Amino acid sequence: MKTRKLGQLEVSAIGLGCMGMSEFYGDRDEAEAIATLHRALDLGVTFLDTADMYGPFINEELVGRAIKDRRDQVVLATKFGNVRTAEGGWGGVKGTPDYVKQCCNDSLKRLGVEVIDLYYQHRVDPTVPIEDTIGAMAELVQAGKVRYLGMSEAAPDTIRRAHAVHPISALQTEYSLWSREPEDEILPTVRELCIGFVPYSPLGRGFLTGAFQSPEDFAPDDYRRHAPRFQGENFAKNLALVDQVKAIAAEKSVTPAQLALAWLLVQGDDIVPIPGTKRRKYLEENVAVVEIVLSQAELDRINAVAHQGAAVGDRYADMSTVNR
């Protein structure tokens, strides 16, 4: 496995998003999830991504059990800030210093580790000065509970203010062939500050795999049934985009998912996508992309098909919590 740098933090060139192992994307299979995590480590995937809100809370516990005997092989990333109740309810976004420290202590216990390698603020709390939130996170670094700091879905000015308080190693934001908005301001900002970039949902929440032909393909409790891009006319228009990606992938004898991930890796050595999967089959497919080489002609074709704005519909039903 090749490696890349997120600031000063060295990680595998491809990470593993663990959210879907516990929530949002249909049925759960804990045994297969743990087998997938173990297989990821066997293949040299060192970068594992979770959050306290996934499950809620149980995804951190799952990851903790899986890495218990292999902690030295893992660069462990988790997040705080999206408030969930034990019953699964939503309580908004919170970034007060006391809450930051409470969440970190709780995550350490659930993960069964002494230190978190990369600790993200999952969403920015507009009611708390970013200097206060990052200041509390910096105290966690000083206390030895966290090694590096990250942010997610933050706006350029917020990133700059945060970085002035304590170095930010990674920014996590949705980025893929159908979510190219970070190219305008976010990527230039993090590159100026030498902050690594971690695209989440690099396969368009699975849509870019080409596996879905109808909204009915999703389980009744699947989050995507209620996401704007997966509904009605938007679904049909986005499916046409995926069909073109599939055609290019077929010519190259790779899967659409592999083409989408290979395209992301070409966008810069500071980019480390974290495709999520809960099955070994798809994990192995994703990891293989580090060996795929795209020609300039192929990149030009992909960019012409999946240009910025090609996808139809907002990323979330409520976009008020992102890029702020």
The CATH number linked to 272 is: 3.20.20.100
Burial code (b: 16+ CB inside 10 Å, e: under 16) for 10-45 equals ebbbbbbbbbbbbbebeebeeeebbbbbebbbebeb
Is 90 exceeded by the pLDDT of residue 166?
Answer: yes
What pLDDT band is residue 24 in, cutting at 50, 70 and 90? confident
CA angle at residue 284 from 191 to 258, to 5 degrees? 55
Residue, of 25 and 73, whose pLDDT is higher = 73
- Give the type of residue at 225: R
pLDDT higher than threshold 80 for residue 319? no
User: For residue range 200-259, what is the model confidence (pLDDT) as tens digits?
Assistant: 999 999 889 988 888 888 888 787 888 889 888 898 888 989 999 999 999 999 999 999
Q: For residue 265, is it within any domain?
A: yes
Share of the chain above pLDDT 90, in %: 82
Catalytic residues: 54
pTM for this structure?
0.94
Q: With bands split at pLDDT 50, 70 and 90, how would you rate the model's confidence at 3?
A: very high
* 317 domain-assigned: no
Cα-Cα-Cα-Cα dihedral sign, residues 136, 141, 143, 145: positive
Q: Does 35 map to a domain?
A: yes
Q: For residue 17, what is the enclosing H or E element?
A: strand 16-17
Q: Which residue has the tokens 């663990």?
A: 18
Q: For 26, which DSSP code? A: S
Does residue 172 form part of some domain? Answer: yes
**Quick one: average pLDDT of 27-51?**
97
Beta-carbon contacts of 120 under 8 Å, excluding residues fewer than 6 positions away, are 51, 77, 78, 79, 80, 81, 149, 150, 151, 152, 170, 172
In a domain, 214, yes or no: no
Residue 289 lies in a domain: yes
Looking at the domain assignment, is residue 305 inside a domain?
no
**Domain, as residue range, for 18:** 3-206+260-293
Tell me if 221 is assigned to some domain. Answer: no
- State the Cα–Cα distance between residues 268 and 282, nearest whole angstrom: 24
Give the mean pLDDT of 12-34.
93
Number of structural domains (the chain) is 1
pLDDT above 90: residue 53: yes
